[in-house]
Amino acid sequence: MTFRTATRTGAVILLGALVASGCSGGIAERRSAKPVRRIVPATSVRVATTASVPASRLVAWKGPVEHLFFHTLVIHPELAFTSAPIGQGFRDWFVTVGEFRAILHQLYANGWTLVDINRAARGLARVPPGRRPLVLSEDDVNYYDDTRALGLGWKLGLDTHGDVKVEEHDLFGTHLTDHDLVPIVDEFVSGHPLFSADGAKGVLAVTGYEGVLGERVNDRTAPDWSATVARAKALVARLRATGWTFASHSYAHVDETKVSVARLMHDSTEWKTEDEPIVGPTDVYVYPYGAGFPIDSPKIDLLRGFGFTVLCDIDVVPRLTVGNGVTVMTRRHIDGVSFADQPTALAKFFDVSTVEDYAARGIMH
Ligand SMILES: [Zn+2]
């Protein structure tokens, strides 16, 4: 898995690479040798997930809508932020649970409110009076094999109340906790209804080559495949019922500016065949690596033909580009790179100096 971002000029910069280290498989095997499921109430909070501001108290927003995206969260920095190449990838492209919690509190304090991406893309965002709209998205909500044992979550799961949690594996077994973006946002909105307009939470962008949401629904020959599909569908139903929406992040997560139209057709067909039956139809497409196409590209025609009319790339300013039957929305990446390079631009959202976990990242401060 590789993470890149695109500059405004369209040049794609290779920013880092996550590669499976030789020992990670061993760690994974050891940790999953004796699977014991137990739920840890101390860190699993019951959530009333539909808290939101009534529509009658929302006002129309005129102007651009900001959009921030994250990856799944680093739960154990001591396992993730190593000196290995993948460790640098985590430092560059991920944030920790503590950093994300701090960011949410500051977003709220600074007047931001989560809005639905489709409303934002159509210029129909609305917010409580005096507040500002924000689209939140999370990329690669797949819990890839090469990240699981390195201090990140293993999959999403439903607790005994039906709330969405993250499954962690460690030497003591398997636990459902709140240590990931979805449960943290659910809990925060529950306690801060002004933070959500129209019940919106965020956009979950998923690939397909290792299934979705940590469920390997791509492995159709697995003996427990139907149970895997059932778990994934139950998660999707709960997520959609509580304000989350889905986006295609492609099936294979390759740089699509470098592939043929035929290859893109194959990839989109795979997503439609394997992902859409699980997560449902969506008109939102999040370019892998943020690497998008010119608005008049035949690849835009192809994506539109698959129903994708809201396309997300990456930039450091909020911008909607409308044309050729689609709307392209920019997003800001929130991670170690933007903490380092964009503290001034991010100041209206949060104060990097009080958010970034310098100790966990090994940064002298
Ligand atoms: Zn990605």
Task: Please name which of 46, 275, 249, 51 lies closest in space to residue 140, comparing C-alpha atoms.
Answer: 249
Kindly give the distance from the C-alpha atom of residue 288 to the centroid of ligand 1, in angstroms, as a whole number.
Answer: 5
pLDDT-based confidence at residue 344 (cuts at 50, 70, 90)? very high
Using the mean position of ligand 1's atoms as its centre, give its distance from the Cα of residue 335 in Å: 13
Distance from the alpha carbon of residue 232 to the mean position of ligand 1, in angstroms: 20
pLDDT in tens, 194-249: 999 999 999 999 999 999 999 999 999 999 999 999 999 999 999 999 999 999 99
Q: Residue 312 — pLDDT band, cuts 50, 70, 90?
A: very high
Percent of the chain with pLDDT over 90: 83
Tell me the mean pLDDT in the region 293-309: 98
129 C-alpha to center of ligand 1: Å?
Answer: 34
Distance 249 CA to ligand 1 centre (A): 7
Q: Kindly give the distance from the C-alpha atom of residue 4 to the centroid of ligand 1, in angstroms, as a whole number.
A: 8
Residue 226 burial (C-beta neighbours within 10 Å; 0-12, 13-18, 19+): exposed
Q: How far is residue 74's CA from residue 97's CA, in Å, rounded to a whole number?
A: 6
How far from 186 is each of 15, 50, 183, CA to CA, in Å?
A: 31, 9, 5
- Residue 207 CA to ligand 1 center (angstroms) comes to 8
**For residue 4, what pLDDT is reported?**
40
Mode of pairing for the β-strands spanning 320-323 and 12-17: unpaired
- How many Å apart are CA 39 and CA 177, to the nearest integer? 8
Domain interval for residue 6: 2-361
How remote is the CA of residue 287 from the centroid of ligand 1, in Å? 8
Q: Has residue 1 got a pLDDT over 90? A: no
pLDDT of residue 51: 62
Average pLDDT, integer, range 5-22: 31
pLDDT tens sequence across 65-102: 999 999 999 999 999 999 999 999 999 999 999 999 99
User: In the chain, how many domains are there?
Assistant: 1
Q: What is the CATH number of the domain that holds 279?
A: 3.20.20.370
Centre of ligand 1 to C-alpha 127, Å, is 29
Q: Which residue has the tokens 């304090």?
A: 109
Mean predicted confidence (pLDDT) in 320-342: 98
Coil, strand or helix at 62: coil
Rounded to the nearest angstrom, the distance between the alpha carbon of 94 and the centre of ligand 1 is 11
Calculate how far, in angstroms, residue 302's C-alpha sits from the geometric centre of ligand 1.
20
Q: How many CA atoms lie within 13 A of 276 on its CB side?
A: 16
| pLDDT band with cut points at 50, 70 and 90 for residue 46 | low
CA–centroid distance, residue 73 to ligand 1 (Å):
14
- 334-345 average pLDDT score: 98
* Mean local confidence (pLDDT), 38-63: 65
Residue 202 alpha carbon to ligand 1 centre in Å: 16
Is the pLDDT reported for residue 252 higher than 70?
A: yes
